[in-house]
Structure 1
Amino acid sequence: MTLLETVVVLVVDVTLGVWLGGTVFFSFIGAPTTFDVLGDGAEDVVTTLFSRYQTFGTILGFTAINLVVFAQSEAMLDSTSSLFISPLLLVALFVTIYAQIVLVPKMRRADDGFFHYHRRSIFLNSVSMLSLVGGLVCSHF
C-alpha cells in the first residue's frame, strides 16, 4: 500500500468514525441528557444542537464521499468495498441533509408536533448509524 493509499484510507476511516461517533453521542447521550435536565425547555436546545450536528454530519459526509470516489477511481478500494460503500454513505448523507433542510425547520415551527418530528429524527438517525457502520465495515474488505 502506498503512502497516498494509506492516508486516503485513514482519512476515510477517521471521517466515518467521527461521523458515527457524533451520531451515537448525540442520540444516546447528548439529547437524552438534555431532556432529562431541562424537561420541556430542552426542545429549543436540542433543535439548535440538532441543526449544528446535521451541518457537521453533512460536512463529514461530503468529505467521505469525495474521498471514497477518489479512492475508487484510483483502485485503492477493492471491488466489494467499491460496490457497497458509496451507496451506504449516500444514504447516510441523504438522511442527514433531509433532516437538516426539511425536519429541523418543521421542528422549529412545531408547537405540539415537536415529538412527532422527534420520532422521525430518531428513525433518520438510526438509518444514518446503520449506513455508517456498514460503510466502515465495507471500507475494510
Structure 2
Amino acid sequence: MAETRDVFIVCNNVEELGGLQRWAHDIGRMFAARGHRVHLVGITHAEHPHDYGRDLPYTVTVLHERALPPARGPVGARLRRVRHQLRVRRRRRTPQRAVPHREPGRRRHRGAGLGHGVGGARRHRGHAGDRHEP
C-alpha cells in the first residue's frame, strides 16, 4: 500500500448542502477509505447547515465562528486602489488598436481588410473605384 498522506480540503464552508460541499465530503470519504488522514476545512459556518452524518472518517474544522465582514476600510480601499493602478498600467502598456480612417458614407462590413475569405475572393461594396469585377 502507498504511504498515507495528510489531505486538506478547504472550502468557504463545508456544512451547506451544495455541489462543492457534497464533492468535498465524497472525496474526503474516498481518501479516508484509502487510508489517508483527511481534514475538511471550512472558512466560516453555513447559514443553513446540512447534516452530513456524525461518524465521519475525517476531521472537519471551521476557522471562523462568524461570517467575515467584506474587505472594507484601509485594506479594502488599498485593494481597490491597487486594482485600479494595475488596470491603468495595463492600458498604458497595451497599444491602442489602429482603427483605419473610413471615408464618410462608406459601409463597413465583417472581415474588412482581409482581402479574401472562405471560398475565394471576398467581394465588398465600397466606393465605385473599390469594386472588384467578377
TM range (shorter): under 0.3
- The TM-score with structure 2 as length reference comes to 0.23
Higher strand share: 2
Q: Which has the larger radius of gyration?
A: 2
Which has the higher relative contact order, 1 or 2, with Cα contacts under 8 A spaced 6 or more apart? 1
Higher helix share: 1
